[in-house]
Amino acid sequence: MTGHRFERVTGRRGLRDFLTLTDRLYADEPRYVPTPRQQIRRWWRDGVPMYVLHDADGVVVGRTTLHTDADLDAKLGRRCQLFGLTEFTAPAARPLFDAITAHATPGRDLLFGPVALLPNQAGGVITAGYADRGFVDSAWNPPHYPDAYEENGFTRRFVSDTWICPVPPPAGPPPALGVQPDGARLELHRGDIRRLDAQLDLLRGMLNDSFAQLGYYTPISAAQLRRQTDGLAYLLDESLLLYLTRDGRPVAFVLCVPDISDFLVAVRGDLNPVNQLRLLATRRRYRREAVLIVKGVVPQFQGCGYQRLLSAHLHHNLHDGGYTALRSTYVGRDNPASAAQYRRLGGRPLHGYTFYAKER
């Protein structure tokens, strides 16, 4: 790493350098959607270690976090050094990855990332589909990123795709609910801003149950969910948060949000109070496309067609709301059932997607 300096962000100047690196790297690149600066600042205040890489002239040419998570260690059965929010110029790739390796916490035997802060939250690297823009809660990067990881000894983990589906007029009315042939009563519920905290906690229980078997997933706590959905209330389209109950028991859910990617690009990820008001005042403008954040069915009722039923009602709501496309965050290629649902909607893979790991 001759000529480069890797240092931890300890003050506001360093944090500004960390934040503004992407302003330079993606100055003329509308396909890159930045992580909101307020989120990054919150992580820094919470003590997430952040680092910047300077070249020989003192210019910041790379950045990353270096953090750990006991739950993911337990899930993977390894002591992982996580890294995330990782960005770099092409010449800085090797010095940055050398620094990540050198500064890993002692005793950590696997480098894993990029994750922000966990793979079930955000992160990843796209490996195909560079012509298509990124979107909220998903990655976009230039083609040299996967090459850089793999040239520096990283291998792909949890290979996935993001998806995009059109929203044509529905072919008919949505499936009926009420009493089913087995005697159970199915009811459809939608989002309610006045009850959002209670509804999100209900979804959290279903989410943790339905995703528990996935290799990368660690349970989300109530505090984590509050942080991840901070500000959701003023963006939520209530018709795009749906869940099913069976005899009063929640069994399946889907959560979509309007795609505000264009706004985030325009303000460089700065959702300060003034920009939040601007977004609130113009939110109808950002209801042309939606992003599917998460969906699931509790294990006992997987394979009963409940997700397909929810998808049909979601399709109607999207069309009635004037949406023309639905994007999905990454779906593992080892999860063909989810991919099949998107194909039935006329969807196609958008970006190849992966995380990376490296033995130490």
Distance CA 50, CA 252 (A): 37
- Our CA dihedral for 170, 172, 177, 180, rounded to 10 degrees, sits at -130
Half-sphere exposure of 240 (CA within 13 A, CB side): 25
pLDDT at 272 over 60: yes
Strand pairing of 185-190 and 125-128?
unpaired
User: Contact at 8 Å (CB) between 92 and 122?
Assistant: no
Mean model confidence pLDDT for the chain? 92
Q: What is the pLDDT of residues 196-251, one digit of tens each?
A: 888 888 888 898 888 877 777 788 887 777 666 666 666 789 999 999 999 999 99
CA dihedral over 342, 258, 239, 256, signed as positive or negative: positive
Express each pLDDT in 58-102 by its tens digit: 999 999 999 999 988 988 889 999 999 999 999 999 999 999 999
| 3-state SS, residue 163 | strand
Pairing status of strand 325-332 against strand 289-297: parallel
Nearest alpha carbon to residue 108 among 82, 83, 79: 79
Task: Decide which of 163 and 214 is more confident.
Answer: 163
Instruction: Return the SS3 of 127.
Output: strand
Supply the pLDDT for residue 224: 74
Please tell me the distance from the alpha carbon of residue 89 to that of residue 297, in angstroms, as a whole number.
Answer: 41
DSSP 123: B
Contact between 116 and 67 under an 8 Å Cβ cutoff? The reply is no
Alpha carbons 328 and 257: distance in angstroms, whole number: 11
Terminal C-alpha separation, the chain: 18
